[in-house]
Amino acid sequence: MISIFKKYVTSGVKHHYKDETNRRIMVVNLFSAVGVSITFFLGIRALLAQELPLAIILLTASVVFALSQRIQIQFGTRRSRTVSITLLISCLMILVFLLLVTGGKDNTGPLWIYLVPPVTMFFAGVVRGLLALLLFTIACTLLFFVFDESLLIASYSYAFKSRLLYSFLTVTFLSAFYEYSRQKSYDIALDLSEQFEQQANHDHLTKLVNRRGAQTALEREYARIQRSSNTFSIAIADIDRFKSINDTYGHEAGDEVLRKISRTFSARLRKQDILARWGGEEFMFIFPETSASEAANVLEALREVLSFAPIAISDHDMHITSSFGVCEITSQIPLADGIRHADMSLYRAKESGRNKVVVYSDR
């Protein structure tokens, strides 16, 4: 029983939707389930008591509640969710309005009016919710004080009608305030979570993607070539004799060199290329849909720019060079092997005198 209920409430929920969207889908499911049960039960009771108009209203509402839930599940689009929510709110408002007109069972119909503000606010948000509730309030006021003679079937005292509207307005403002605070807290939480996500994937010093972010990008590219049978290339760059920069000019100057080099590298890459800080003084390049020789050409140009243009650090012009190891990744080799091959090529570049671009070859 519990698992059937759980399945019903979570139907239409998708992992790739935002949390807020999934929450709304679940509340629509829950609300329509409660709405269908109550209106159906009360409708059947009214039918048995031969209160035909009330029975028709309640049973129709029961069908509309069920329909609105089906619409959001059936189509699963943003538009269908809007239609479903509009249908739910309109149905609730019309149902309550008709209960005010008829009085419902023993004139208890008006009690259901307090359901309208929280439900409308939750589903429609503060602005649209307030607008819808304003229209509903105007309709109720007209019913109670202008068209009472012609439209009202039930009879209410003036005091009852005015107190009902005052208390309804109070609940409306409290619901609006609650929804506003809830939305604000949700936005702050979302903002914080995006900031944490950004910090977790980026390097504080260079602002580049860090090793974790690079690993995610590599896996994404690798998954893509499995589907398309394309290739992509990666390269690991290591600044030459970086330790001596730190030893001679200090760690701060070393940091500044890392920042400037990362800017020099990124400025010369295509939009689709990714540059990451792979480790201490190591950088990882990812070139989507690029052969090793094309990647080597780009890196050769970078190497030249770096070795010919001095970097100014605390009144010194430094000539800094970097070595690069390149490897083309195909769907046939495991990603980890590809990274290892790029590392081996980098080692060869260092061994053969540094300031070089070496493409991996197994010979």
Ligand X SMILES: Nc1nc2c(ncn2[C@@H]2O[C@H](COP(=O)(O)OP(=O)(O)OP(=O)(O)O)[C@@H](O)[C@H]2O)c(=O)[nH]1
C-beta closer to ligand X: residue 92 or 302:
302
Nearest distance, CB of residue 301 and ligand X, angstroms: 21
Which helix (H) or strand (E) segment holds residue 120: the answer is: helix 116-145
Residue 278, SS3? Answer: strand
Among 179, 221, 273, 281, binds ligand X (CB under 6 A): 281
Contact range with ligand X by CB under 6 A, out of 164-172, 175-183, 254-262, 334-342: 254-262
166: left (phi over 0), alpha (psi -120 to 50) or beta: alpha
Nearest distance, CB of residue 234 and ligand X, angstroms: 19
Cβ neighbours for 295, distance < 8 A, ≥ 6 positions apart: 233, 234, 235, 285, 287, 326, 328
How far, in Å, CA of 47 to CA of 159, rounded? 32
HSE-up of residue 263 (Cα within 13 Å, Cβ side): 7
Q: Which of 227, 237, 225, 252 has its CA nearest to residue 320?
A: 237
Residue 319 near ligand X by CB under 6 A: no
C-beta closer to ligand X: residue 65 or 285:
285
How far, in Å, CA of 246 to CA of 320, rounded? 13
Nearest distance, CB of residue 340 and ligand X, angstroms: 18
Residue 255 near ligand X by CB under 6 A: yes
Task: Give 323's strand partners.
Answer: 238
HSE-up of residue 111 (Cα within 13 Å, Cβ side): 6
Nearest distance, CB of residue 10 and ligand X, angstroms: 46
How far, in Å, CA of 104 to CA of 111, rounded? 10
Residue 144 near ligand X by CB under 6 A: no
Among 254, 278, 326, 360, binds ligand X (CB under 6 A): 254
Q: Which two tokens mark 305?
A: 């720019």
C-beta closer to ligand X: residue 191 or 247:
247
C-beta closer to ligand X: residue 168 or 278:
278
Longest dimension (CA), the chain: 100
Nearest distance, CB of residue 240 and ligand X, angstroms: 4
Nearest distance, CB of residue 203 and ligand X, angstroms: 9
How far, in Å, CA of 333 to CA of 52, rounded? 74
C-beta closer to ligand X: residue 205 or 309:
205
C-beta closer to ligand X: residue 149 or 353:
353
Nearest distance, CB of residue 70 and ligand X, angstroms: 58
Nearest distance, CB of residue 273 and ligand X, angstroms: 23
- 71 to 100, contacts with ligand X by CB under 6 A? none
How many positions of this chain bind ligand X (CB under 6 A)? Answer: 16
SS3 content of the chain, % helix, strand, coil (to 5): 70, 10, 20
C-beta closer to ligand X: residue 258 or 275:
258
- 213 to 252, contacts with ligand X by CB under 6 A? 238-243, 246, 251
Nearest distance, CB of residue 278 and ligand X, angstroms: 11
- 195 to 214, contacts with ligand X by CB under 6 A? 205
Q: Binding marks (x or -) toward ligand X, 321..360, rule CB under 6 A? A: -----------------------------x---x------
C-beta closer to ligand X: residue 88 or 349:
349
Interaxial angle between packed helices 211-228 and 335-351, expressed in degrees from 0 to 180 and rounded to the nearest 10:
120
Task: Give 282's strand partners.
Answer: 238, 279
Residues comprising the chain, all counted: 363
105: left (phi over 0), alpha (psi -120 to 50) or beta: beta
Instruction: Give the binding site for ligand X (CB under 6 A).
Output: 205, 238-243, 246, 251, 254-255, 258, 280-281, 350, 354
